[in-house]
Chain A
Amino acid sequence: MGTIRIDGREIPFKEGDNVLKAALAVGIEIPYFCYHDTLGSLGACRLCAVEITPKDPAKAPQVVMACLEPARDGLEVSVSALAARQVRQGVIEFLMINHPHDCPVCDEGGECHLQDMTVACGPPYRRYRGRKRTFTNQDLGPLVHHEMNRCITCYRCTRFYQEYALGDDLGAMRLRNEVYFGRFQDGPLASPFAGNLVEVCPTGVFTDAVFRQHFARVWDLKTAPSVCPHCSVGCNTLPGARDGTLRRIRNRFHAELNRWFICDRGRYGHQYSEHPARPLTPRVEDVKVSYRQALTAAAEQIKAARDKIGGLGSVREDLEGNAMLRALLYDLSGIFATFSDPQLEVATTTAVAQLQNTTRVLSLAEMEQVDAALIVGDLTAHAPMIDLALRQAYRNGAKLAVLHSGPTPLVRFAATTLTVPPHEIGAHLLRLNEWVAAPSAAHNKQEKELTDIATYLTAAHQPLLIGVIETMVAPEIAVLAQLSTALGSRARLAYALPGANAYGAALLTPASSTSAMLEAIESGQIQTLIVAGNDPLGDARLGARWRTACQRLNTLIVLDCVATATAEAADILLPVAAWAERSGTFVNYEGRAQGFASVFQRSEPLPSTAEVIADLAQCLGLAPPDAAVVLSDAFPGYQAPVPGTLGSPLAALPLPVQIDTTILPAKGPHPGRWQAALTSWYGDEPLAGFAPALLKLAPAAAALINPAIALSEGIAEGERVRLRGPVETMVLPVQLDNNVAAGTIALARGVLAQLGVGHGDPLELEKIS
């Protein structure tokens, strides 16, 4: 678009760039604090002073802020001019006047922008001998530590927190030299993206409170490019490890996915790998044994079971582990499955089949550009970074419509919200489909809302339809895909899948394998079950059935890195490496295969799932399968994606899934008076559930009910009610929430598992007199 000259060097720039952005793009280090690639320019810190020379020689050169100066063709800029250097030195000297000089105990030390800039442009000595202005700190919860004296007033925190992530509980207070960034009062930050403050803050005002407990300097940390294992988005991360333990997670820039930010589940969920209860030693019948002994014991049991064997992979197991287990089960003529719930299997495979049919699934960066979106379910809890991308779309003026049964933070930004019980979601999607095919007049309020949604979707240049698989059934997923087809080629479809590698697991899953496996165990057709990274006994809906079925097994062999209910019940437990301790591949919601590298080894190294299975095959006398060969058998032309790259689309054959679009009529009354709905929060995930700091933020167990229904039933807020599920009865306090549909009780995942009900299942509620 043209060039500017910086200290005699010709620099190209793009239309709309400022001088700072153009200079940083080619590696010219103009000092700055408040500018951020995503948050933009503000001109608050005054550090990026440069001198520009006007074309007219009669005019004197000016000192301007590089971040606020638009790049114009032929602009003469000098970074090294004396006047500019003096301004920068003055800024640093001024910022350091009130600095607490506590770098030795500051967690930012070593990666502190203020340290770098002070060394780069500041005066070497302190002249000011007066006293410093001080601030008290706030308790911002278990994730972010606050140390306000270190602040340099760059406003990056509030710009991220309020403007970008649309949070409302952190802001700037006071004025002049006493601007204070904090909450109205002490308390945990409410935003699911609060952890990014640690990274956007150029000094140590916001630091990682979890890392602080086992702090190590950045230069001591071992890092390698990795991918987040906590949801299907597949954000790129940079884990840091030291002395054989995982210490922290930082965001790693990926231009199409997470870019500069990750959610708090991704940043703090990693603690599961350092959980005190994590299995690190193999066990056979509750006796600690060596890896070889456990392997031999497992091989003996597998040989004894002959073909009466099953293998259960997982949506959180990497592609290599799942594919190797499948290959082993083929060799042993056993049954292979990857899901613990047949309903979830059908839902996920249907979704993946639909995604394979669509032209292209939008990346996060593209989702920010959509101008209308229909969201089915609670995205914040199931794919937090998609939620953040849609918040950007909302900031850009997109109309969001949310169709949901339980609380979801996105309703705050929704133009239209439809709060309906789980069994009516499908009917509403059908009505939308009908409306798009043949627009009709609305007769009541709900139809008016449906009409509104259909109107934005049809009027939009690029409408996005996105569903949360865990709270949808297969026909609803298919109908959402039909709606996308009906909206034409502009419409884009996406689903938040139930695990980091749910896409890959679904591609490897034989049709109806989960129900086949459960029935085979119940009928004694499977005597030895190998479970890799799955927790069938802790399944919300079918946990009780699995527990009964597994009692019929001779041997339960579990390969896992967390102490799940299944790992606790295992006859033979083979601990495996957590994701940061091994390399592997996850396939995200777009079908993008991304490799992650092994960051570190524990003091006693653990094998990955794929390695355990190869060793097991060797013990069985089979030719040990090789992950690369197995994967190229499953996916023609498969090439392992290189960690640290953008990832590559996984070329897979279309999934042979029977697409069922029959939605049960919602007109009739639901079998029960009440229906359970899953209410989840951003930290709720099988692995992150072992992260102690994150769990401190988990909402208290309660039965969430719509206030209008509670009034008609005579239930008051805080009243304790008895919930009767097929497995257990529980007494819980009632919490009234406007975002819960009528006739629906929204419950946390743990409560659902205890009661033995899934999302959308009937449930009895009794008042305790």
Chain B
Amino acid sequence: MNKQTPTLLIRLWRSLWTTLRHAWAKRETVSYPEVKRPLPGRWRGRIVLTRDPDGEERCVACYLCSAVCPVDCIHLQATQRADGRRYPETFRIDFSRCIFCGFCEEACPTLAIQLTPDFEMCERSHNELVYEKEQLLIDGQGKHVGYNFYRHAGIAIFGKAIGEGVCDTPPVDHDTNLP
């Protein structure tokens, strides 16, 4: 019992010293929102639709993001341009339901849908959290620079005929049997 008393005192002084030390230490807390912490590039926040290196929409409206979405917050309708290129006529994400799981990004075969390090999306009503395509589509390639789905897939679009893809040989002439 006698032995414990000085230990307690030492503890007390140590705590006081620690407190005092922290009073003059560098602050860990930032005064958000005046000061913003840098977020890692792979942070799963606000979803965007990106464009390919040619400036065209990357999204081909394949519906895989809406299929994989566990909370059903993505709704889109596919349509196509006169040259056969698919794109979403409407693309809508309900961020009041989105859980930022990132499944859509993982499912996207054209690297179009990407999650960004931005979480500041507060609104006063649920309706304002429903983002339409105009709010989602950005003028950039996002995280995956240089990828263009149509260069690899063997279908023709404007500016790339059959057989002109990076994996293709020139098309077979089916009017002759000669090799």
A residues bordering B, Cβ < 8 Å? 99-105, 109-110, 131-137, 147, 149, 173-175, 178, 180, 182, 212-217, 219-220, 243
- Check B80 against A213 for contact (C-beta < 8 Å): yes
Please tell me if B139 contacts chain A, counting CB pairs below 8 Å. Answer: no
Complex interface: chain A residues within 8 A of B172 (CB): 133-135, 174, 178, 180
- Check B63 against A217 for contact (C-beta < 8 Å): yes
CA distance A137 to B174 in the complex (A): 10
- Check B154 against A102 for contact (C-beta < 8 Å): yes
- Check A135 against B174 for contact (C-beta < 8 Å): yes
Complex interface: chain A residues within 8 A of B64 (CB): 104
Please tell me if B155 contacts chain A, counting CB pairs below 8 Å. Answer: yes
Please tell me if B149 contacts chain A, counting CB pairs below 8 Å. Answer: yes
Complex interface: chain B residues within 8 A of A149 (CB): 154-155, 162
Given contacts A173-B175, A214-B78, 14 further A-B contacts (CB under 8 A): A100-B155, A102-B153, A103-B62, A104-B109, A104-B110, A105-B155, A109-B62, A132-B167, A134-B154, A134-B162, A136-B171, A149-B154, A178-B172, A215-B86
Residue of A nearest to B109 (CB): A104
Complex interface: chain A residues within 8 A of B153 (CB): 100-102, 104-105
- Check A220 against B171 for contact (C-beta < 8 Å): no
CA distance A178 to B66 in the complex (A): 37
Complex interface: chain B residues within 8 A of A135 (CB): 162, 171-172, 174
CA distance A240 to B149 in the complex (A): 29
Mark interface residues in B22-56 (1 if CB within 8 Å of A CB, else 0): 00000000000000000000000000000000000
- Check B63 against A175 for contact (C-beta < 8 Å): no
- Check B162 against A105 for contact (C-beta < 8 Å): no
Complex interface: chain B residues within 8 A of A137 (CB): 156, 162
Complex interface: chain A residues within 8 A of B174 (CB): 135-136, 173-174, 178, 180, 182
Within the complex, the shortest CB–CB distance from A513 to chain B, in Å, comes to: 47
Within the complex, the shortest CB–CB distance from A431 to chain B, in Å, comes to: 51
Which 10 residue pairs are nearest across A and B when measured between Cβ atoms? A100-B154, A104-B62, A102-B153, A180-B174, A217-B63, A134-B163, A215-B78, A104-B109, A134-B171, A149-B154
CA distance A216 to B110 in the complex (A): 18
CA distance A446 to B141 in the complex (A): 76
Partner of B162, one of A136, A175, A180, A182: A136
Residue of A nearest to B169 (CB): A131
Please tell me if B129 contacts chain A, counting CB pairs below 8 Å. Answer: no
Complex interface: chain A residues within 8 A of B149 (CB): 104
Complex interface: chain A residues within 8 A of B61 (CB): 215
Please tell me if B67 contacts chain A, counting CB pairs below 8 Å. Answer: yes
- Check A216 against B162 for contact (C-beta < 8 Å): no
Q: A105-B86, A174-B172, A182-B174 are in contact. Are A132 and B154 (CB under 8 A)?
A: yes
From A100, A105, A173, A217, name the one whose CB has the most chain B CB atoms within 10 angstroms: A105
Within the complex, the shortest CB–CB distance from A547 to chain B, in Å, comes to: 41
| Interface CB pairs A-B, < 8 A, 16 | A101-B152, A102-B154, A105-B60, A105-B86, A133-B169, A134-B163, A135-B174, A136-B162, A173-B175, A178-B174, A180-B172, A214-B77, A215-B79, A216-B78, A219-B67, A243-B77
- Check B167 against A131 for contact (C-beta < 8 Å): yes
Mark interface residues in B107-133 (1 if CB within 8 Å of A CB, else 0): 001100000000000000000000000
Please tell me if B177 contacts chain A, counting CB pairs below 8 Å. Answer: yes
CA distance A174 to B78 in the complex (A): 35
CA distance A599 to B3 in the complex (A): 85
Within the complex, the shortest CB–CB distance from A724 to chain B, in Å, comes to: 44
Please tell me if B106 contacts chain A, counting CB pairs below 8 Å. Answer: no
Mark interface residues in B125-153 (1 if CB within 8 Å of A CB, else 0): 00000000000000000000000010011
Within the complex, the shortest CB–CB distance from A96 to chain B, in Å, comes to: 12
CB contact list, B66-122 vs A, under 8 A: 66-67, 77-80, 86, 109-110
- Check B60 against A104 for contact (C-beta < 8 Å): yes
Q: A136-B162, A213-B80, A220-B63 are in contact. Are A103 and B155 (CB under 8 A)?
A: no
Partner of A214, one of B79, B110, B162, B169: B79
- Check B109 against A132 for contact (C-beta < 8 Å): no
CA distance A100 to B160 in the complex (A): 14
CA distance A213 to B168 in the complex (A): 27
Complex interface: chain A residues within 8 A of B159 (CB): none
Please tell me if B170 contacts chain A, counting CB pairs below 8 Å. Answer: yes
Within the complex, the shortest CB–CB distance from B169 to chain A, in Å, comes to: 5
CA distance A243 to B113 in the complex (A): 23
Residue of A nearest to B90 (CB): A243
Complex interface: chain A residues within 8 A of B162 (CB): 134-137, 149
CA distance A219 to B152 in the complex (A): 26
Residue of B nearest to A129 (CB): B167
CA distance A219 to B78 in the complex (A): 14
Complex interface: chain B residues within 8 A of A132 (CB): 154, 167-169
CA distance A250 to B73 in the complex (A): 28
Partner of B109, one of A103, A136, A220: A103
Within the complex, the shortest CB–CB distance from B141 to chain A, in Å, comes to: 18
CA distance A104 to B172 in the complex (A): 24
Complex interface: chain B residues within 8 A of A217 (CB): 62-63, 67
Within the complex, the shortest CB–CB distance from B93 to chain A, in Å, comes to: 16
CA distance A131 to B166 in the complex (A): 8
- Check B168 against A134 for contact (C-beta < 8 Å): yes
Complex interface: chain A residues within 8 A of B63 (CB): 110, 216-217, 219-220
Within the complex, the shortest CB–CB distance from B175 to chain A, in Å, comes to: 8
CA distance A260 to B41 in the complex (A): 52
CA distance A102 to B149 in the complex (A): 9
CA distance A149 to B174 in the complex (A): 13
Complex interface: chain B residues within 8 A of A100 (CB): 153-155
CA distance A215 to B84 in the complex (A): 13
CA distance A219 to B60 in the complex (A): 17
- Check A174 against B168 for contact (C-beta < 8 Å): no
CA distance A135 to B155 in the complex (A): 10
Partner of A102, one of B78, B80, B155, B175: B155
CA distance A216 to B177 in the complex (A): 39
Within the complex, the shortest CB–CB distance from A118 to chain B, in Å, comes to: 15
Complex interface: chain A residues within 8 A of B67 (CB): 217, 219-220
Complex interface: chain A residues within 8 A of B177 (CB): 174-175
CA distance A101 to B168 in the complex (A): 11
Residue of A nearest to B152 (CB): A101
CA distance A243 to B92 in the complex (A): 14
CA distance A267 to B168 in the complex (A): 35
Complex interface: chain B residues within 8 A of A104 (CB): 60, 62, 64, 109-110, 149, 153
Complex interface: chain B residues within 8 A of A103 (CB): 62, 109
